[in-house]
Amino acid sequence: MLTIFGACVVTFMMVMYALEKRDRRFVLAFALGCALSSSYGFLAGTWPFGVVEAIWAVVALKRYLDHGSGGEGHSPVTAARMASSAPARAGSSTTTESRRSAGS
């Protein structure tokens, strides 16, 4: 029965993680999934797993709270992707300037 609980909790946690970008409530649900997964880790006797999942639960809860207070609420990887996909400002490209000077 404990194995079924663990499989369901970890599945729930991963689905909520995949849906985080859709709504901030999924971040809170992910935090809940991490907390439940942590409880499974301690109940199963794998305390390192329980500790790591408890840490993830705290991190996810902080992300949820930061997102609600006007913070970005995105992971560093997501923030980096968003920054790299932003359009460059006009005239800031050094390659464009070097092409102009090379062609003159």
Summarize pLDDT for 30-53 with one digit per residue, the tens: 999 999 999 999 999 999 999 999
> 68: helix, coil or strand?
helix
**What mean pLDDT, rounded, does the chain reach?**
80
Q: What percent of the chain has pLDDT over 70?
A: 65
Element counts in the chain: helices (H) and strands (E): 5, 0
Q: Is the pLDDT of residue 71 over 50?
A: no
Q: Where are the domains of the chain?
A: 2-85
How far apart (Å, rounded) are the C-alpha atoms in residues 50 and 52?
A: 6
Largest CA distance in the chain: 76
This prediction's pTM: 0.64
Q: Look-up: residue for tokens 């942590």?
A: 38
Strands (DSSP E) found in 1-104: none
